[in-house]
């Protein structure tokens, strides 16, 4: 699967390179481009199996910044655009980008089999993990993160699409949720906030 054509790889890497020095100072309080979620009571717990069936939680990724996104593999636009942008941001961050993990939670476990999820997430480079729970587990996690999703029956056949919240949750290196990025916030904002979060020492 190719990355979204709306993202110009060379231009994006150049823009991010120009903003590479815009990170936080070691002793300064973070100032985020996204919505600051520091101290909220929700989005605290995530426990789901990965595409290989291994139980995963936020504790598995301590020491790294985490970008969490809810979506599904047959999403035609928002999901591949978001994951493709994250891949390019990670690449532009160089060695720092290796300390960023992308978590993709499917809201369509009925169709998103483990095999399909492994194939899908591999398109977006290293440091990306697909998570797939039962319908009940998916509902519980979505409730914890205040994420909406629902089936939308096809008007032309027996299939369906999924409506879902189009946003990312960013966690610092201690596993605490810190930032909410709405879809379309842009790569520079994502790069800026991930740099801030990587400065938080576990």
Which segments are annotated as binding site for Cu cation? 75, 79, 164
How many CA atoms are closer than 13 Å to the CA of 19, on its beta-carbon side?
20
Angle between helices 9-18 and 187-198 (to 10 degrees): 50
Q: Annotated binding site: which residue ranges?
A: 75, 79, 164
Concatenated DSSP letters of 57-106: EGGGGTTSEEEEEEE-TT-SSHHHHHHHHHHHHHHHTGGGGGGEEEEEEE
Reference 36, options 155, 180, 135, 165; nearest CA is 180
């Amino acid at each position: 699967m190719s990355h979204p054509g709306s993202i110009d790889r060379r231009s994006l890497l150049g823009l991010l390179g120009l903003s590479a020095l815009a990170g936080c100072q070691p002793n300064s309080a973070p100032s985020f481009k996204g919505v600051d979620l520091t101290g909220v009571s929700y989005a605290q717990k995530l426990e789901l199996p990965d595409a290989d069936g291994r139980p995963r939680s936020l504790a598995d990724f301590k020491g790294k910044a985490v970008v969490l996104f809810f979506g599904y593999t047959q999403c035609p636009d928002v999901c591949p655009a978001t994951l493709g942008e994250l891949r390019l941001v990670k690449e532009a961050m160089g060695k720092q980008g290796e300390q960023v993990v992308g978590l993709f939670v499917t809201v369509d476990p009925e169709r998103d089999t483990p095999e399909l999820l492994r194939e899908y997430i591999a398109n977006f480079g290293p440091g990306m993990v697909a998570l797939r729970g039962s319908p009940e587990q998916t509902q519980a996690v979505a409730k914890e993160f205040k994420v909406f999703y629902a089936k939308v029956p096809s008007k032309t056949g027996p299939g369906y699409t999924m409506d879902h919240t189009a946003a990312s949750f960013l966690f610092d290196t201690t596993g605490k949720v810190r930032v909410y990025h709405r879809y379309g916030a842009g790569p520079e904002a994502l790069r800026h906030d991930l740099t801030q979060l990587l400065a938080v020492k576990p």
